[in-house]
């Protein structure tokens, strides 16, 4: 089931499993958490294509075990063969409409509800506050419990249909630990402005005074625009000083 679903989404199951484990180990780490790039390296509306960074991460870190590299090769061969067949026999419109289109919508949905919303503001690596919960019976059914994403990180063996029960039983402990238990978008003006920024631009710096983004901006000759862009970087950065 996992292999088939991954192919339909344009992914590879071995890549997903290994990369996801790295995400759990290094939540919100700017270099070692592969999902951090997905959430903070561009606008939300382009979050789906950034999932392909997982494949880059998989090979950079040589994460495969045993036959997983062979599995990756087979699944990628199936994907490429279907595309080549679509071009050869002129059914690419069918692939676009019935495969790529729905897969893109699923990718955006997964990116928002499994990556972006649960981990914003993307700063903490403390296991009690590196993700969040936003309780809702409706959302629990709609996104299969991912509104209780913190529960998934704290106790990964719990199945999604028991997240809500686990949350209700552990809520006093989460309260003591200061775990985020709201969606975190409309709580303050800064939350709202950050969300709008993420919708439109979404590229975030990990340094308030130094970093690649600031270096690029400093190359621009116009002082007014330069100062304006640097103010945005300072307001939206998510790293240390």
pLDDT digits (tens, 9 = 90+) for 194-205: 899 899 888 887
Q: What angle do CA 139, 140, 146 make, to 5 degrees?
A: 95
Phi and psi at residue 203, to the nearest 5°: -80, 125
Looking at the domain assignment, is residue 57 inside a domain? yes
Distance, CA of 138 to CA of 240 (rounded, Å): 37
Residue 140's nearest CA partner among 174, 167, 103 is 167
Would you list the DSSP string of the chain?
-HHHHHHHTT--HHHHHHHHHHHHHTTT-TTT-HHHHHHHBS-GGGTTGGGGHHHHHHHHTT---TTHHHHHHHHHHHHHHHHHHHHHTT-HHHHIIIIIHHHHHHHHHHIIIIIIHHHTT-----TTTSS-----HHHHHHTTTGGGHHHHHH-TTS-GGGHHHHHHHHHHHHHHHT---S--SSSSHHHHHHHHHHHHT-B--SBSS-SHHHHHHHT-S-HHHHHHHHHHHHHH--SB-
96 shares a domain with 6: yes
Final residue belonging to a domain, choices 84, 100, 126: 126
pLDDT at 221: 72
211 shares a domain with 112: no
99 shares a domain with 210: no
pLDDT at 53: 94
pLDDT at 95: 93
117 shares a domain with 9: yes
Distance, CA of 140 to CA of 147 (rounded, Å): 6
For 133-156, the pLDDT digits (tens) are 999 888 888 888 999 999 999 999
> For the chain, which residues score pLDDT lower than 70?
207-215, 218-219, 234, 239-241
pLDDT at 241: 45
Looking at the domain assignment, is residue 156 inside a domain? no
What is the count of structural domains for the chain?
Answer: 2
**Torsional class of 240: left (φ above 0), alpha (ψ -120 to 50), beta (otherwise):** beta
Distance, CA of 177 to CA of 175 (rounded, Å): 5
Looking at the domain assignment, is residue 122 inside a domain? yes
8 shares a domain with 102: yes
122 shares a domain with 210: no
Distance, CA of 181 to CA of 150 (rounded, Å): 9
210 shares a domain with 110: no
Looking at the domain assignment, is residue 84 inside a domain? yes
Distance, CA of 163 to CA of 82 (rounded, Å): 38
Looking at the domain assignment, is residue 92 inside a domain? yes
Looking at the domain assignment, is residue 200 inside a domain? no
Looking at the domain assignment, is residue 137 inside a domain? no
Distance, CA of 103 to CA of 100 (rounded, Å): 5
pTM over 0.75: yes
Final residue belonging to a domain, choices 126, 144, 167: 126
Final residue belonging to a domain, choices 126, 147, 180: 126
210 shares a domain with 122: no
Looking at the domain assignment, is residue 141 inside a domain? no
Both tokens of 237, joined, read 């950065």
113 shares a domain with 12: yes
8 shares a domain with 95: yes
Residue 235's domain comprises 205-241
């Amino acid at each position: 089931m996992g292999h088939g679903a991954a192919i339909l989404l344009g992914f590879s199951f071995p890549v997903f499993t290994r990369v996801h484990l790295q995400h759990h180990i290094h939540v919100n780490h700017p270099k070692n958490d592969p999902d951090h790039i997905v959430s903070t390296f561009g606008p939300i509306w382009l979050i789906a294509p950034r999932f392909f960074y997982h494949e880059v991460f998989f090979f950079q870190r040589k994460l495969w075990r045993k036959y997983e590299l062979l599995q990756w090769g087979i699944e990628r061969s199936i994907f490429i063969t279907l595309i080549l067949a679509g071009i050869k026999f002129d059914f690419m419109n069918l692939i676009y409409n019935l495969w790529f289109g729905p897969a893109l919508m699923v990718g955006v949905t997964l990116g928002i509800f499994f990556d972006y919303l649960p981990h914003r503001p993307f700063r903490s690596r403390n296991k009690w506050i590196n993700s969040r919960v936003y309780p809702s019976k409706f959302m629990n059914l709609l996104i299969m419990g991912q509104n209780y994403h913190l529960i998934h990180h704290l106790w990964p063996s719990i199945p999604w249909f028991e997240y809500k029960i686990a949350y209700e039983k552990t809520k006093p402990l989460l309260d003591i630990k200061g775990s985020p238990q709201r969606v975190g978008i409309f709580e303050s003006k800064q939350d709202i402005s950050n969300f709008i920024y993420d919708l439109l631009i979404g590229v975030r710096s990990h340094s308030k005074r130094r970093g690649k983004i600031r270096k690029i901006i400093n190359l621009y000759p116009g002082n007014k625009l330069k100062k304006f862009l640097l103010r945005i970087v300072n307001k939206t950065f998510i790293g240390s000083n």
